[in-house]
Structure 1
Amino acid sequence: MLDGCTPWPEEFVDRYWAAGHWRGNTLDNLLRGWALAYGPRTALVHGGSRITYAALNRRVDRTAAGFRLRGLRPGQRVLVQLPNVPEFVITVFALMRIGVVPVLCPLPQRASDVAHLVRVTQAVGYVGPSTHDGFDHTAMAADIAAQGPFLRRVFTYEAPGTSSPFGGGLTTDPAGCHYSPLGSIDAPPERALTLSADDVALLLLSGDDGAEPRIVPRTHNDYAYQARAAAESVALTENDVLLAALPAASHLAFGCPGIIGALSVGGAVVLAEASDPAACLAAIGRERVTVTSVTPAVARLWLDALAEARADLSSLRLVQAGGAPPDRATAGRIAAAGGCRVQQVFGTAEGPLVLTRPGDPDATVPATHGRPLSPDDDIRIVDAEGNDVPDGEPGELLGRGPYTVRGYYREPELDARSFTADGYFRTGTLARRTPDGDLVVTGRGDRTPGPAAGPRTRP
Structure 2
Amino acid sequence: MAAAPIQGDQTAVSDVRTGEVLSYSQFMRRVTRAAAGLRRQGLRYGEHVLVDVPLGATLPVAVHSVAWAGGVAVLGHTGPARMMITQRHDRAAGADVEQVFSFQPAPGAKPFGELLNDRTVEFGPLAGPAITLDGERVYDHDELATDLRRLAARLVISKDDVVISAVSEPFRGLRVVDLAMMSGAHVVIAHEPSLVGCRVLAAERRATIVVAPYELARRLLGDPILRVVDERAVVSSLGL
Contact kept? 1:64, 1:189, Cα under 8 Å: no
Contact kept? 2:36, 2:121, Cα under 8 Å: no
Alpha carbons of 1:250 and 1:77: their partners in 2 closer, same or farther (altered >3 Å)? same
Q: How far apart are residue 184 of structure 1 and its match? A: 3.0
Match of 1:98 among 69, 81, 84: 69
Is 2:9 aligned against 1:40?
Answer: yes
Answer 1 or 2: which has greater helix percent. 2
**Structure 2: distance between partners of 1:281 and 1:54:** 29
Matched AA of 2:84: Y
Is 2:2 aligned against 1:56?
Answer: no
Q: How far apart are residue 195 of structure 1 and its match? A: 3.0
Task: Kindly report the root-mean-square deviation, in angstroms, between the aligned alpha carbons of the 2 structures.
Answer: 2.7
Contact kept? 1:65, 1:188, Cα under 8 Å: no
Residue 182 of structure 1 corresponds to 112
Matched AA of 1:224: A
Contact kept? 1:77, 1:102, Cα under 8 Å: yes
Match of 1:275 among 186, 192, 210: 192
Match of 2:167 among 246, 269, 288: 246
Q: How high is the TM-score relative to the length of structure 1? A: 0.47
Alpha carbons of 1:190 and 1:293: their partners in 2 closer, same or farther (altered >3 Å)? closer
Match of 2:100 among 151, 154, 177: 154
Considering Cα pairs closer than 8 Å and 6+ residues apart, tell me whether 1 or 2 has the greater RCO: 2
Residue 231 of structure 1 corresponds to 152
CA-to-partner distance for each residue in 1:99-152, whole Å, 9 max, x for gaps? 0111123xxxxxxxx3xx12xxx322222222xxxxxx513324x42xxxxx21
Matches within 5 A, 1:27-426: 31=1, 33-47=2-16, 48-105=19-76, 114=77, 117-118=78-79, 122-130=80-88, 138-142=90-94, 144-145=95-96, 151-158=97-104, 164-166=105-107, 171=108, 179-190=109-120, 192=122, 195-197=125-127, 199-205=128-134, 215-247=136-168, 249-251=170-172, 253-255=173-175, 258-272=176-190, 274-277=191-194, 280-297=198-215, 299=216, 321=217, 331=218, 333-336=219-222, 340-344=226-230, 346=232, 353=237, 404=238
Runs of 4+ in 1 over 6 A off after TM superposition: none
The number of aligned residues is: 237
Q: How high is the TM-score relative to the length of structure 2? A: 0.85
Identity %: 24
Contact kept? 2:208, 2:227, Cα under 8 Å: no
Unaligned runs of 5+ in 1: 1-30, 106-113, 131-136, 146-150, 159-163, 172-178, 206-213, 300-320, 322-330, 354-403, 405-426, 428-451, 453-459
3-state DSSP of counterpart to 2:210: strand
Contact kept? 1:40, 1:52, Cα under 8 Å: yes
Q: How far apart are residue 266 of structure 1 and its match? A: 0.6
Larger radius of gyration: 1
CA-to-partner distance for each residue in 1:179-223, whole Å, 9 max, x for gaps? 2122332122245456351x1121134xxxxxxxx7421111110
Unaligned runs of 5+ in 2: none
Contact kept? 1:78, 1:124, Cα under 8 Å: yes
**Structure 1: distance between partners of 2:122 and 2:226:** 43
